[in-house]
Structure 1
């Protein structure tokens, strides 16, 4: 089940079930790319300079991969498990570029839950249309009622 309207809050480890999915959609803008460059200090011209980027294998500017990956973090920190979640690890494979104007769908799915240790393994994906642009897996410490 993918939700187009994010359900912000917390799902406690005691309530998590394998197969739960949450998501968000965001159009990546030139302003997003510029702000990410400012915050990260990554000013690689493939992200910022049309002339430079047009001469690369991408034939145009692309967004920072970690900008799209940040949307995964937003789903984990805001929705699944949500507020109070602590990242323990994240693997990422960047499969295709994201360009200014692309709408990225970030999805997170529960793969495993260890309620005693509060550990949760999540499948993480970003896609643009039918193209998966990032896939990976996250390990988090989920909030508990206890």
Structure 2
């Protein structure tokens, strides 16, 4: 269900973990219209600095939304903003752990700031940032 603004504490954490599949990449491309060859064409992607296909950065960022909307703070949370840095590529087959941690609570505005981090199966940070959300009152 999640936590209300009054139940949250600085340091609260939660996460979601998912293995990125080829289907995920193709569905994301179809939904968004982002058919950049680095995501969907192995031959062309091999010519890039990545030397092969990578997942869309925003697909990885979407895993943060899963944590915010379903776990911490949870149901009723409204996403207001997100600062992102993509630090390493995510490849098909990588297992990504999206983790959020409460770093600031602004009760008079019902707002919460959370550190947002995605790591791969090797513990390498692939995405780093800060989210601002409107937390549920009840």
Q: Which TM-score bucket, shorter chain as reference? A: over 0.9
2:39 matched to which residue of 1? 47
Deviation at 1:116, TM superposition (A): 2.2
Unaligned runs of at least 5 residues, structure 1:
1-8
- 1:53-90 CA-to-partner distances (Å, cap 9, x unmatched) read 01110000000000000000110011111111111110
Moved over 4 A (4+): none
**Residues 1:111 and 2:103 are matched in the alignment:** yes
- 1:21-75 CA-to-partner distances (Å, cap 9, x unmatched) read 0001100000000000011110001000000001110000000000000000110
Whole-Å separation in 1 of the counterparts to 2:39 and 2:90: 10
Number of equivalenced pairs = 137
Whole-Å separation in 2 of the counterparts to 1:87 and 1:24: 17
TM-score, length-scaled by structure 1: 0.92
2:16 matched to which residue of 1? 24
Unaligned runs of at least 5 residues, structure 2:
none
Whole-Å separation in 2 of the counterparts to 1:117 and 1:98: 35
**Residues 1:34 and 2:30 are matched in the alignment:** no
RMSD over aligned CA atoms reads: 0.6
TM-score, length-scaled by structure 2: 0.97
Whole-Å separation in 1 of the counterparts to 2:89 and 2:132: 25
